[in-house]
Amino acid sequence: MADKKIIAITGATGAQGGGLARAILADPNGGFAVRAITRDPSKDKAQALAAKGAEVVKADLDDVESLKKAFAGAHGVYAVTNFWEHFSAEKEKAQAKNIAEAAKAAGVAHVIWSTLEDTRSFMAPDDKRMPFLQEKYRVPHFDAKAEANAFFKDVPTTFLVTSFYWDNLFMFGLAPKKGEDGSYSWAFPMGNEKLAGIAAEDIGRTAYGVFKAGQSYVGKTVGIMGEALTIDEMSRKIEKGLGISPVKYNAVEADVYRSWGFPGADEMGNMFQADRDFAKQMLANRNLDEAKKLNPQLQSFDQWLAANKDKVLPATQPAATA
Ligand SMILES: NC(=O)c1ccc[n+]([C@@H]2O[C@H](COP(=O)([O-])OP(=O)(O)OC[C@H]3O[C@@H](n4cnc5c(N)ncnc54)[C@H](OP(=O)(O)O)[C@@H]3O)[C@@H](O)[C@H]2O)c1
């Protein structure tokens, strides 16, 4: 244990960091050890990692000194911020800055920063197709992460460009819903473009591949996905995989989606519109072959669906939206 390289994982009780922690813990001879960072070491998800052999350390992304202590002696840091807890691009950037500063102070050899692209680079500032949000962002949770890349310039970092989690189908209630006529439907402003998706668990598994590959990935940007599919293609796979039909895709306009008013509707409307209008760039930024090389267990949508049928099926029932 003592000679293992410690990976300090922010978000260890969440989807991305949890996937990485589980991947390391499942490979006891891999040469790496988990330091799971959480604001609350007593919570079930932290305790579950401790039971599997992780060291659990308390720290807060808003408190740089707590991060410096949590990163001390670590070989690597997995850096992820959670936009959806506060919906603030500025806060997300401040937290990323704290992580980078603490990693530098601790002399960490390898950071993986979980990032996304700056969607503003796709459009001229006077492009009217989508509104600016939080004054200066097109898709705040993308643009803020991309801006935060600059904080890591003096730290040995791999920039991991992630993809839409298929787990959103049950985590965020995005699964097709059963209507009164017995058919299932879902709506996105995705037109007939392909959306790069991934099993959330595979992000962490791929990050483990990056840590194992080591220094050759420092300074690199690695875009990952499990599969790119149109919503119609996903609908056909859901019909087959879950044994429900028909699943109808309603290709709404982005303005309509943004007008629905649920928390984050404007943010997600802009995000799907960026995924649709700039599909070529979004797909070019993600490399399936490299993701498979780093993570031989990488799942396709069908594989993910088969493994998560018991979670996705209940999410198709109208009650699940309540
Ligand atoms: N959903 C998607 O399709 C998707 C796709 C690509 C990227 N992303 C990005 O993924 C990020 C979220 O990652 P996730 O899905 O892995 O998160 P998650 O499952 O929602 O869990 C959030 C994690 O963040 C930690 N955390 C939040 N605030 C913290 C703070 N102040 N100090 C310390 N830890 C803190 C939580 O730890 P404790 O509560 O234990 O302290 C928890 O482990 C978002 O920024 C999102 O933009 C999402």
Joined tokens for residue 110: 């390898």
Tell how far the Cα of 124 is from the centroid of ligand 1, in angstroms.
30
0.85 exceeded by the pTM? yes
Distances (CA, A) of 286 to 45, 82, 138: 30, 21, 20
Q: How far apart are CA 287 and CA 42, in angstroms?
A: 38
pLDDT at site 122: 98
Q: How far apart are CA 65 and CA 60, in angstroms?
A: 9
Q: What is the largest CA-CA distance in the chain?
A: 61
Distances (CA, A) of 168 to 172, 204, 212: 5, 16, 28
Determine phi and psi for 26, rounding to 5 degrees.
Answer: -80, -5
Tell how far the Cα of 128 is from the centroid of ligand 1, in angstroms.
31
**Matching residue, tokens 């700056």:** 118
Joined tokens for residue 290: 């490299």
CB of residue 226 inside a 6 A radius of ligand 1:
no
Contact criterion met (CB below 8 Å) for 233 and 197: no
pLDDT at site 321: 47
Q: If you ran DSSP here, which 8-state letter would residue 317 be given?
A: S
CB of residue 76 inside a 6 A radius of ligand 1:
no
Segment (H or E) for 25? helix 15-25
Joined tokens for residue 103: 């990693």
Q: Is the sign of the CA dihedral 155, 37, 60, 14 positive or negative?
A: positive
pLDDT at site 320: 47
Could you identify the atom of ligand 1 that is nearest to the CA of residue 59? 33
Mark the ranges of the chain whose per-residue pLDDT is less than 50. 320-322
Helix, strand, or coil here: 225?
A: coil
Tell how far the Cα of 174 is from the centroid of ligand 1, in angstroms.
18
Q: How far apart are CA 132 and CA 148, in angstroms?
A: 19
Tell how far the Cα of 80 is from the centroid of ligand 1, in angstroms.
6
Query: Residues of 246-269 as b/e, b for ≥16 C-beta within 10 angstroms?
Result: ebebeebebeebbeeeeeeebbbb
Model confidence pLDDT, tens digit, residues 101-155: 999 999 999 999 999 999 999 999 999 999 999 999 999 999 999 999 999 999 9
Q: How far apart are CA 149 and CA 284, in angstroms?
A: 19
